[in-house]
Structure 1
Amino acid sequence: MSASLDRRLHAYRPDLADIRLKGQVEAEGYAASRPARLIVPVADIRPRPDLAAGIDTQALFGETLAVFDRSGGWAWVQLDADGYVGYLPEEAIADGAGAATHGVSVPRSFVYPGADLRFPRRHALSMGSRVTVTGTAETRGTRYALLEDGSAMIAAHLRPLGEALAADAVAVATLFLNTPYLWGGRSGFGIDCSGLVQMALAQTGKSAPRDSDMQAASLGSLIDRDDLRRGDLVFWKGHAGLAEDANTLLHASGGTMTVTREPLEAAIDRIARLYGPPTCYRRP
């Protein structure tokens, strides 16, 4: 029965499974999840509890997740945002969903120990991270958001949760130009092709699956190449990008190892030599 379920989106293994899957998969035991939140800037999600395993995706600060098991310093989790299942270091999470109020709305922003940009920064957070704002302050004309632990961020770099950054996903994607390509990445510090699509859509208030095959199978509606316009999506086997216009592609490219802008036909010709032509075009 379990062979029909995608392990990326369903928590099951021979010894343990999500209790919601009882009757659909066979396991030695079943567990209800417990809520948790990420407390580090970025955590890699891996297919097994092994630092040598490749990165499937990432979780960002303040994001919530469901925990099914903790063992050997690892937590087996499912991300609330897109349902992805995998392992991350147990020290990266804290119990409880928290009460985040704002999301980071620029590709990267610093967290300071107080409301002064001259203070040494504590760390940086990516777009999509979630924080709890408890107040505001102003220092030398710069307005800061004060966070629950006493730290501060530039207020203009945050938006209330639920408030879209832009109506246009392409405008969001262009903010990531020259960001390094990272397989499995979905942050302003490193991002892959489907991560860029997911992030750009999320900041316009639209949810999207994590991986390119999931996106190609479900996002929006199929269109013809001749109908392509700004904001549409182009998919290859294992790759995705956003149309800036009918002739220009924005994508996290393994060719340049950055988020790049490229003539669409040039991208089609170059990618075809390795992976074939586009498999579909979709309008989200």
Structure 2
Amino acid sequence: MLSLVPLRAEPSNRAELVSQLLFGECYEIISRQDKWLRVQLATDGYQGWIDANQHNAVSAAYYQEWKQAQHPRAMDLVQVISNADERIPVGIGAYLPFFDGMNVRIGEQTYLYNGRASNPESEATIAQLVKVAYNFMKAPYLWGGKSVFGIDCSGFAQQVYGICGVQLPRDAYQQVTAGEEVHFVNQTQPGDLAYFDNDEGRIIHVGIVLEDQKIIHASGEVRIDTLDHNGIYNAARKRYSHKLRIIKRIFQA
């Protein structure tokens, strides 16, 4: 049982990190190759390879029960899940399966969790979403990362929205299909998602809009920059870092 498991593009420790499995997250095994398992996440359908040594098996009944339930997410930056035999560090965004306010159930094992947790039964507000986003400030950029210790732009958007009860796809080019378009930057509201493309028109970056035409996004680190109709302006470097393509709204004010 681990707090994070690398999800790789190919069955090799040298392969590209495409995402990460979070504590408490379920997946289905698609195929096997030597000591590697190709898995598909139950949350967003994303696929990749994990080391079989990092696999934690659960029953088919648990897996089906997990998929049908809504699970709280850890809200503390770092916390510990424990039982009589082990202590596991978990970060913000970790899944807390079948959390009853004190205990988490993973397969046949029960663990104690003393930290803060989200409430999947209550509808999140824009203010709460922005507050969650600020918790990731200064998290270093990591391609394929989804934790406060390393995260990429789409992983950041997915984590923030996921903690607030909205499941987004994994990658920015997939996320852009969600929500309703906002036509002008001066019509944005906090929580809107701004997407940016490259010279070939491919969506390569996403960030979360804040008040006063600011944006919080993962670029080198989770940081706040200025957003205008051209894109993201990095004041420290005195240049635009990303070219704006489209803005989408998930939460309605």
CA contact (8 A) 2:118 2:163 kept: no
How high is the sequence identity, in percent, across the aligned residues? 27
Relative to structure 1, the CA distance from residue 275 to residue 150 in structure 2 (aligned partners, 3 Å threshold; closer, same or farther) is: closer
Paired position in structure 2 for 1:173: 133
**Aligned match for 2:47, one of 82, 85, 88:** 85
Paired position in structure 2 for 1:103: 73
**CA–CA distance in 2 between the matches of 1:272 and 1:81?**
39
Is the counterpart of residue 241 in structure 1 residue 207 in structure 2?
A: yes
Residue 215 of structure 1 and its aligned partner are, at CA, apart by 1.3
Residue 241 of structure 1 and its aligned partner are, at CA, apart by 0.5
Q: 1:229-276 CA deviation, whole Å, 9 max, x = no partner?
A: 21111111211111111411111112xxx2112222596244996875
Q: Which runs of 5+ in 2 are unaligned?
A: 198-203
**Aligned match for 2:24, one of 44, 55, 62:** 62
**CA–CA distance in 1 between the matches of 2:240 and 2:165?**
34
SS in 2 for 1:124: strand
**CA–CA distance in 1 between the matches of 2:99 and 2:167?**
27
Paired position in structure 1 for 2:201: none
1:32-71 correspondence runs (5 A) = 39-71=1-33
Higher RCO (Cα < 8 Å, 6 or more apart) = 2
Q: 1:43-89 CA deviation, whole Å, 9 max, x = no partner?
A: 11111101111111111111111111123111111111111111011
SS in 1 for 2:12: coil
CA contact (8 A) 2:196 2:231 kept: no
**CA–CA distance in 2 between the matches of 1:72 and 1:95?**
21
1:97-176 correspondence runs (5 A) = 98=62, 102-113=72-83, 122-132=87-97, 145-147=102-104, 149=109, 151-154=111-114, 156-159=115-118, 162-164=120-122, 166-168=124-126, 169-176=129-136
**Aligned match for 1:220, one of 163, 167, 179:** 179
The AA in structure 2 aligned to 1:126 is G
**Aligned match for 2:219, one of 244, 253, 260:** 253
The AA in structure 2 aligned to 1:41 is S
**CA–CA distance in 2 between the matches of 1:282 and 1:272?**
27
* RMSD over equivalenced CA pairs, Å: 2.9
Q: Which runs of 5+ in 1 are unaligned?
A: 1-38, 115-120, 137-144
Relative to structure 1, the CA distance from residue 164 to residue 200 in structure 2 (aligned partners, 3 Å threshold; closer, same or farther) is: farther
Residue 132 of structure 1 and its aligned partner are, at CA, apart by 4.7
Relative to structure 1, the CA distance from residue 113 to residue 82 in structure 2 (aligned partners, 3 Å threshold; closer, same or farther) is: same
Q: 1:210-236 CA deviation, whole Å, 9 max, x = no partner?
A: 1111112x1201112231121111111
* Aligned residue pair count: 227
Paired position in structure 2 for 1:27: none
**CA–CA distance in 1 between the matches of 2:143 and 2:214?**
23
Instruction: With the length of structure 1 as denominator, give the TM-score of the two structures.
Output: 0.70
**CA–CA distance in 1 between the matches of 2:172 and 2:213?**
21
The AA in structure 2 aligned to 1:220 is G
Which protein shows a greater Rg? 1
Q: 1:136-162 CA deviation, whole Å, 9 max, x = no partner?
A: 7xxxxxxxx2445464321x42345x3
Relative to structure 1, the CA distance from residue 59 to residue 159 in structure 2 (aligned partners, 3 Å threshold; closer, same or farther) is: same
SS in 1 for 2:132: helix
